[in-house]
Amino acid sequence: MELYCKKCKYRIHSRALQESKYIDVQYGDGQELLPAWEYVRTDKANYNFDFPIKYLVHSKSLLLIDHEDSLRFQGCCGPSQFGELNQVCPQCKNEIGILVADCWTSHFIGIDETKVTLQPIW
């Protein structure tokens, strides 16, 4: 899968992402949810957000940067899923996803499906 920022067409990863072969995603406190360069759809992972998150990706497999608003990183030891989008496109600063990496959560980035496209829009 290829993901591009819908606003500026920036490719938000350096290597193609592969759909995870795991049928049943295992959640573990403080551990990566998926292997590097893999993703899972939220409907298959049984994970819900208050905004339209469609894909969960390994937390270090994307070329996104932290939002400049530190209030978007609420959690006891790291960002949790209860805040706002906290990962932005490094080129145009479009809010794209939410990094979840607290001590009591699995670590991943959730991608807002309204902020990305699977095809470059040239």
pLDDT digits (tens, 9 = 90+) for 45-60: 877 777 789 999 999 9
Residues comprising the chain, all counted: 122
pLDDT at 37: 94
pLDDT at 26: 66
Q: Are 90 and 10 a contacting pair, CB within 8 Å? A: yes
pLDDT digits (tens, 9 = 90+) for 58-109: 999 999 999 999 888 888 888 877 778 999 999 999 999 999 999 888 899 9
> How is 16-59 classified by DSSP, letter by letter?
--EE---SSPPP-TTSBSS-TTEEEEHHHHT---SS-EEEEE-T
